[in-house]
Chains A and B, each alone.
Chain A
Amino acid sequence: MKRSLVTRQPAFFALILLVISLAINLILQPNMFAGETLNSNMRVFLPIILLTVGQAIVILGGGIDISVGGTVSIVNAVLATRVGLQGSTEEMWKFVLLSLLIGLIAGSINGFFIAFLRLQPIITTYATSFLYVGLALFILPNPGGGIPGTLAGLYRNSMPLRFPLAFYVIAVILLIWWYASSTRIGKFLYAVGGKADAAYETGVPVTWVQFGTYVASGLMAALAGVAITMLSGSGNAEIGVSMTLTSITAVVVGGNALSGGVGGVVGPVFGAITLGIIQNIISFANINTWWETFVKATIIVAALAAPGVVNLFRRRKL
């Protein structure tokens, strides 16, 4: 049976979507690829991209992580209260390191319950999302605090070799992913996501692989938290809440199957950028404010439906 390109190369469709949305955006915003504009877009997209990479790894391993937004919130609350608007640079880096540790711990808690106690991922991470957002609110009950403007500027305005900082971050992550997915661990990940029972029979350390995906996701969520704190410069314990579902949508728009084992990380990165650009297009297209949510959601549903429609059409023709 001949399979369509869409099913063989999941990232391919994500790339098409990205190119289409980029083209529309370019028409509405002609100076989009100019250094400054590109940077101001990419620095907004980066937190969601980081979160999406972690989510993609969990989903590849057959799970889902609803708690990532909570981790983002904890990191934001910690940085905003402990570093403060008058904090020093050393303080900042110290607490960034602590943030990464928090991400590892949050991910390990999820991983422990899901991989070792074998609880269902969606409800477990839903429960821990309450724990994490609650903790963030406990640290920072009301929006406020922040990090020094100079440090925020470091994230917002750094353009080494005239490329946005976000490009370098994404490149490093994709390089790590390409290396990791070519090793045995990468193969294990796909095996566990595809069919955990069969993987177990063939000697794959299923439990540890599953555990690892949640730890990776926690770490990426912490990085996303650092990025969004440096982007906004201020603290708000609910900042991460709305990011969770976006990261899951980005993974699916990126061509990964939510059932696991299919896709990669490159597609989801495209997916996350596409979602950001759709938001961009909507704000540039002068759409009536009342219609914004409806138009955005309809575009996303259409984007999700497109591969299915293409497949349906092909089947009819044959």
Chain B
Amino acid sequence: MKKRFSISPPVAALLLAVILFVLSGLLPNGFGSDLGVARAQATNIVRLAVFLGVIAAGQTLVIISGSEGIDLSAGSVVTLTAILTYVLVNGANEKVFLGLLAALAVGMVIGFLNGVGITVLKISPFVMTLGMSGVVSGAIIVITHGNVTGKVAPIMTRLIARPISPSIPIPNAIILWILFGILIWLLLERISFGRQLFAIGVNRVTARLSGVDVTGTNLLTYSLAGALAGFGGFLLVGNTGVVHLQLGQPFLFPSIAAVAVGGTLLSGGKGSYWGTMAGAIVLTLITSLLTTMQMPDSVRRMVLGATLLVLISIYGRQRSLRQ
């Protein structure tokens, strides 16, 4: 049999990001041959990708779990937990940990409710999480009445938005993201939960017959996804320093796209968080390139759509019917 030349999706996505970035240097207002500017721009793009990447982590888990798994409530959970952190912390360093716990817990409860609807009441994940997204958005309006008072703590800004030290210009957010990536990798590849997650993603019936607690694993996956979205909200508000009622929603569909671009099968059972990280970088890069090129919103959307189509055409193809 002829061995096909193949390249793993995370590597392909990263290569693509690098090529796009180098090409962007040739633009009229690009970095040209100034390596310092290029490095600063690259760092900034990765820094911006952190937030999309963290929000897409939970999305990766539910998509790997299969059976049309998806989390459309991630965007509103991010908004809710960002607001929660903002209000609870209220500028006090000592309350940051409390804010983080609250963000994780609230996200987890919402994720758990999603899980109950999906596993016990057999509602399809798409509409269950879509409905939950509406409920959470509604709850945000009810609770805040449109205005929020609070403040992020200095330590959050220090740990999330600022570089490690003046002499090392790498933002802390990137370090946090790498640690976070290692954690998710451990979760997926090194403990039994991860193996069970892939097992139910491939085939629920065979997973159950081989002793996997399908309902339990599924519940845990949605709860974790909620908690991870909560963490995303916490990080995001630490970076922006302000909240508004539409903070998280713009991350929702890009988080799904990041997962797809990273080579995780949307039908479940196959994928990695490294891929999602690469996908988040590619998407952030394309978006910021289009912004710096000062294209009108309409052209920007069309180019983004076309790029996404090309990306998924390269390796998002499903098995052919004949096989």
- Give me the interface of A with B, judged by CB distance under 8 Å: 64, 113, 117-120, 122-124, 126-138, 141, 196-197, 200, 206-207, 245, 248-249, 252, 257-259, 290-298, 300-301, 304-305, 308-309, 311-312
Q: Which of A141, A257, A301 has the most CB of B within 10 A?
A: A301
B308 touches A300 (CB 8 A): no
CA distance A206 to B266 in the complex (A): 20
Cβ-closest chain A residue relative to B309: A127
B131 touches A301 (CB 8 A): yes
- B40 contacts partner chain A, Cβ-Cβ < 8 Å: no
Neighbouring A residues of B257 by C-beta, 8 Å: 123, 126-127
A126 touches B297 (CB 8 A): no
| B117 touches which of A131, A197, A296, A305 (Cβ 8 Å) | A305
CA distance A207 to B320 in the complex (A): 10
Cβ-closest chain B residue relative to A298: B135
Given A118-B317, A294-B138, check contact A123 B299 (CB 8 Å).
Answer: no
A63 to chain B, nearest CB (A): 12
CA distance A252 to B308 in the complex (A): 28
CA distance A134 to B321 in the complex (A): 33
Given A308-B122, A312-B120, check contact A141 B304 (CB 8 Å).
Answer: no
- B186 contacts partner chain A, Cβ-Cβ < 8 Å: no
A296 touches B134 (CB 8 A): yes
CA distance A252 to B265 in the complex (A): 24
B138 touches A134 (CB 8 A): no
B256 touches A123 (CB 8 A): yes
- B20 contacts partner chain A, Cβ-Cβ < 8 Å: no
A311 touches B122 (CB 8 A): yes
| A248 touches which of B127, B135, B139, B308 (Cβ 8 Å) | B127
Number of A-B residue pairs having CB atoms within 8 Å of each other in the complex: 159
Bitwise, B108-132 to A at CB < 8 A (1) or not (0) is: 0000000001001111101110111
What would 12 more interface pairs be, CB under 8 Å, given A64-B126, A130-B304? A113-B313, A118-B318, A122-B266, A126-B308, A137-B296, A252-B127, A257-B124, A258-B124, A297-B133, A297-B137, A300-B131, A305-B123
Neighbouring A residues of B117 by C-beta, 8 Å: 301, 304-305, 308
A130 touches B313 (CB 8 A): no
| A119 touches which of B127, B138, B302, B317 (Cβ 8 Å) | B317
A293 touches B301 (CB 8 A): no
Neighbouring B residues of A138 by C-beta, 8 Å: 296, 298-299, 302
CA distance A131 to B305 in the complex (A): 5
B309 touches A124 (CB 8 A): yes
B283 to chain A, nearest CB (A): 11
B302 touches A122 (CB 8 A): no
B131 touches A297 (CB 8 A): yes
| Complex A-B: 30 CB contacts under 8 Å | A119-B316, A120-B318, A123-B256, A127-B305, A127-B308, A130-B302, A130-B308, A131-B306, A134-B297, A134-B299, A134-B304, A135-B302, A137-B296, A138-B298, A141-B296, A141-B297, A197-B321, A249-B131, A258-B68, A259-B68, A259-B124, A290-B142, A291-B142, A293-B134, A294-B141, A297-B135, A300-B131, A300-B134, A304-B131, A312-B120
Neighbouring B residues of A312 by C-beta, 8 Å: 120-121
| A309 touches which of B121, B131, B312, B313 (Cβ 8 Å) | B121
Cβ-closest chain B residue relative to A302: B131
CA distance A55 to B320 in the complex (A): 24
From 116 to 166 in chain B, residues with beta carbon under 8 angstroms from any chain A beta carbon are 117, 120-124, 126-128, 130-135, 137-139, 141-142, 145-146
Neighbouring A residues of B126 by C-beta, 8 Å: 64, 248, 252, 258
B248 to chain A, nearest CB (A): 15
A43 to chain B, nearest CB (A): 25
Cβ-closest chain B residue relative to A141: B298
| B138 touches which of A123, A297, A304 (Cβ 8 Å) | A297
Neighbouring A residues of B70 by C-beta, 8 Å: 122
CA distance A126 to B301 in the complex (A): 11
Classify chain B: how many residues form its interface, as a range. Answer: 35 or more
Q: Which of B132, B266, B300 has the most CB of A within 10 A?
A: B266
Neighbouring A residues of B260 by C-beta, 8 Å: 120, 123
- B267 contacts partner chain A, Cβ-Cβ < 8 Å: yes
A119 touches B301 (CB 8 A): no
A294 touches B142 (CB 8 A): yes
CA distance A158 to B50 in the complex (A): 55
- B97 contacts partner chain A, Cβ-Cβ < 8 Å: no
A251 to chain B, nearest CB (A): 9
Given A113-B313, A258-B68, check contact A137 B297 (CB 8 Å).
Answer: yes
CA distance A149 to B129 in the complex (A): 40
Neighbouring B residues of A197 by C-beta, 8 Å: 321
Given A134-B305, A258-B126, check contact A298 B256 (CB 8 Å).
Answer: no
Give the 8 A-B CB pairs with smallest separation, nearest first.
A294-B138, A297-B134, A130-B305, A308-B121, A134-B301, A134-B302, A137-B298, A293-B138
Cβ-closest chain A residue relative to B318: A118
From 235 to 278 in chain B, residues with beta carbon under 8 angstroms from any chain A beta carbon are 253, 256-257, 260, 265-267
Given A123-B257, A293-B138, A308-B123, check contact A200 B131 (CB 8 Å).
Answer: no
B285 to chain A, nearest CB (A): 16
CA distance A113 to B256 in the complex (A): 18
Given A196-B321, A294-B142, check contact A120 B131 (CB 8 Å).
Answer: no
Cβ-closest chain A residue relative to B305: A130
CA distance A312 to B130 in the complex (A): 22
Cβ-closest chain A residue relative to B139: A294
CA distance A292 to B139 in the complex (A): 10
CA distance A257 to B321 in the complex (A): 22
Neighbouring A residues of B301 by C-beta, 8 Å: 130-131, 133-134, 137
Neighbouring B residues of A118 by C-beta, 8 Å: 317-321
B101 to chain A, nearest CB (A): 25
Neighbouring B residues of A136 by C-beta, 8 Å: 298
